[in-house]
Amino acid sequence: MPSLIARRDQFFKNINDQGIALTYDDVRLTTGHSEVLPDDIDVESKFSRNVGLRIPIASAAMDTVTEAEMAIEIAKLGGIGVIHKNFSPHDQASQVAKVKFHLNGLIGKPICFNQNVSIEEILNTRKQKGYAFHSFPIVDDEHRLVGILTENDFTFCENLALKAKQVMTKNVITAKPGASLREAYDVMKDNKKKSLPLRDKSGKVAGLYTFSDVKRILVGDSKTFNVDKTGRLRVAAAIGVYDDAFARLEKLIPEQVDVVVIDTAHGDSKGVLETLKMVKKKYDVDVIAGNISEAESAERLLKAGADGLKVGQGPGSICTTRIIAGIGKPQVSAVYECAKAARRYKVPVCADGGLKYSGDISIAIGAGAHSVMMGNMLAGTKESPGDFRFHQGVQYKVYRGMGSLGAMESSKGSRERYNQGKNDLIPEGMEGMVPYKGPVKEVIHQYVGGLRRGMGYVGARSIEHLREIAQFIRITEAGKAESHPHDIVITREAPNYQEKI
Ligand code: XMP
């Protein structure tokens, strides 16, 4: 009996041997014996070699989809946002900083006071600057940590003229720089301390954890958040090739961007391969490269050191690449081929574009993807950038391709994605609008809910398990018609099903 992976390989081989490639509407996953309940299913995955996901969803690097507001919300829901590159390097880095500073896991540069400053002066500064917190590391003239002032010290201090060194707690419990959120939590809990300064080798303050923030991230409402080691929301940023990549990295790295995505329409190109190698040599950051749709392209990028692959050439709802250029491969086959090539390298694959319903997420992962990237399915939400439009009494938001005329005319980032100069543009995308969908939290709830149901039907307990056991069946036009609601006038829309425009 061939393994389930071998059976799936055979299915795609048979299709490929006929010179055919398939996309979402061509296939379904077969149901299998199941002992899992949708709510017990684990949907954690990976976006790149070292960057995890709590839900396998990324928001697209598009100027009508992902800026800081979307990236914050999507990371809070467990996914990751890729900040688009129609920003200048400086502005793009500011967007990344907004996401990274949204939660205070580790305070990198805590407010410290010199030991000779009086309690009154500290309280006045606190009031003036509007600090909501009470924990201040106290340092000597060489900025070495000598004590800490906490809320209790202020509460029980009767003489405000006393100096910090006379009131502070002297035996400070500290941790080393690099202590993780979990380590910090355990130390503070064991010692019943509300704050934990990090002390470097020279005795200087290298950061501060506060118990309330760390607890909120680890065990509070925020346990679904996708956070880095220090408890800050994860975020990605798109970069171009050569100078563009380095100009952006110079600004993005200090803001601690978690992963960068070399975001081009043709990932199997000299520019991408050379840039990838140069970035990996110079920086210690995960790099996802794309977009591609062929196994050989995956192989080349993997050999060049890619920490993740982004697959999709022309499946997007706003894409016209396949029509204008006549190239591309239907998305399910493209994902399968690239993911198969990536198996040996243990590098995650993101299926980018072309998803219309939550069931497509199950299919993309069944074909080998570790995550999906959504443009259209997240456009038109409260958190997506752009204005509302009213059309025949219905609320819409703008959604446009990064290769659309509007995006390319207004931005170098877009032109570079499609390797074009300033004049005589050849667009590869469209501009339009999509119905307003409400808060992204509600749509993601439906998308992940649909994925869990799919995994339940297949019998997969985790994303890895789904990637292992998923089996495909090809459906006909009649099968597709049967799959959608039919022979009924819909009187009430469901939150997870709309007839497509
Ligand atoms: P969806 O289907 O989610 O696709 O709307 C989003 C993905 O489409 C890609 N993209 C484009 N592709 N012309 C293209 O050929 C474009 O103008 C364009 N803009 C975005 C991109 O990979 C995105 O994540």
Rounded to the nearest whole angstrom, what is the distance from the C-alpha of residue 319 to the centroid of ligand 1?
5
Residue 80, SS3?
strand
Distance CA 146, CA 164 (A): 10
Residues of the chain with CATH 3.20.20.70: 4-102+226-483
Residues of the chain with CATH 3.10.580.10: 106-215
**For residues 214, 217, 219 and 225, what is the CA-based torsion angle, rounded to 10 degrees?**
-160
Q: Which of 15-29, 91-105, 131-145, 419-433 is most confident?
A: 15-29
CA dist 269 → 274, 352, 466 (Å): 9, 18, 32
Average pLDDT, the chain: 93
| pLDDT digits 0-9 by tens, 176-219 | 998 988 899 999 999 999 899 999 999 999 999 988 888 877 77
Distance CA 112, CA 131 (A): 12
Return the H-helix or E-strand segment holding 70.
Answer: helix 68-76
Lowest mean pLDDT among 62-66, 96-100, 334-338, 443-447: 96-100
- Is residue 417 annotated as part of the catalytic site, yes or no? yes
Ligand 1 contact, 306 CB (< 6 A)? no
Sheet order of strands, 394-400 included: 388-391, 394-400, 431-435
Ligand 1 contact, 314 CB (< 6 A)? yes
Ligand 1 contact, 404 CB (< 6 A)? yes
Ligand 1 contact, 350 CB (< 6 A)? no
Rounded to the nearest whole angstrom, what is the distance from the C-alpha of residue 431 to the centroid of ligand 1?
11
The catalytic residue among 112, 319, 338, 350 is: 319
Sheet order of strands, 195-199 included: 106-107, 205-210, 195-199
Provide the CATH number for the domain formed by 106-215 in this structure: 3.10.580.10
Ligand 1 contact, 321 CB (< 6 A)? yes
Share of the chain above pLDDT 90, in %: 77
pLDDT at 221: 67
Task: Take atom 11 of ligand 1 and give the residue whose Cα is closest.
Answer: 319
Task: Take atom 15 of ligand 1 and give the residue whose Cα is closest.
Answer: 319
> Of ligand 1's atoms, which has the minimum distance to the CA of residue 354?
2
Domain 4-102+226-483, second-level architecture = Alpha-Beta Barrel (3.20)
Pocket test for ligand 1, best of 319, 327, 352, 418 (most atoms within 8 A of CB): 319
Whole-prediction pTM: 0.85
pLDDT at 414: 82
- Terminal Cα distance for the chain, rounded: 44
